[in-house]
């Protein structure tokens, strides 16, 4: 597709339920990022992939959060045993190359509500 695609757009989960959020980056983009955005805040970094390698996962808030990108394209962010504080918009971004001087393009996000 032309842009970064995320699914589902909205997800309501009962507390304790596991969820999986999908990201389809722009074709050919090497780098993929996951961000968490709370209401009224800027996006906060969660994790970064260069192709299939997860090079930085220091932003993941707990061991309930897990991300993978097994073939270097589509990525999945999984949250186990969801808690109310996990409610947020989860954004995925991709960029064509690695390094600092590049542009990152975001998907529309998945709004997760834990009830």
Partner 1 sequence: GQQLNQSPQSMFIQEGEDVSMNCTSSSIFNTWLWYKQEPGEGPVLLIALYKAGELTSNGRLTAQFGITRKDSFLNISASIPSDVGIYFCACWWETSGSRLTFGEGTQLTVNP
- Residues interacting with partner 1, by CB under 8 A? 4, 6, 31, 33, 35, 41-45, 48, 50, 55-56, 58-59, 91, 93, 98-109, 111
The tokens describing 5, both together, are: 């695609």
Q: Report how far Cα 34 is from the mean position of its chain's Cα atoms.
A: 3
Query: Which C-beta is closer to partner 1: that of 17 or that of 45?
Result: 45
The tokens describing 16, both together, are: 């304790």
Query: Which C-beta is closer to partner 1: that of 17 or that of 96?
Result: 96
Query: Which C-beta is closer to partner 1: that of 84 or that of 101?
Result: 101
Contact 95, 39 (CB under 8 A): no
In whole angstroms, how close is the CB of 18 to partner 1 at the nearest point? 24
Query: Which C-beta is closer to partner 1: that of 16 or that of 113?
Result: 113
In whole angstroms, how close is the CB of 103 to partner 1 at the nearest point? 5
Residue indicated by tokens 């596991």: 18
Instruction: Please spell the DSSP secondary structure of 65-84, one letter per residue.
Output: EEEE-TTSS-EEEEESS--G
């Amino acid at each position: 597709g032309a842009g970064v695609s995320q699914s589902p757009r909205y997800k309501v989960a009962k507390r304790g339920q596991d969820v999986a959020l999908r990201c389809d980056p722009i074709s050919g983009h090497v780098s993929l990022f996951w961000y968490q955005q709370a209401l009224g805040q800027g996006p906060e970094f969660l994790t970064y992939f260069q192709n299939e390698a997860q090079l930085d996962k220091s932003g993941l808030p707990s061991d309930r959060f897990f991300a993978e990108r097994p073939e270097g394209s589509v990525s999945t962010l999984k949250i186990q045993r969801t808690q109310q504080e996990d409610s947020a918009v989860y954004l995925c971004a991709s960029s064509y190359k690695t390094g600092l001087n590049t542009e990152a393009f975001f998907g529309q996000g998945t709004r997760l509500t834990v009830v």
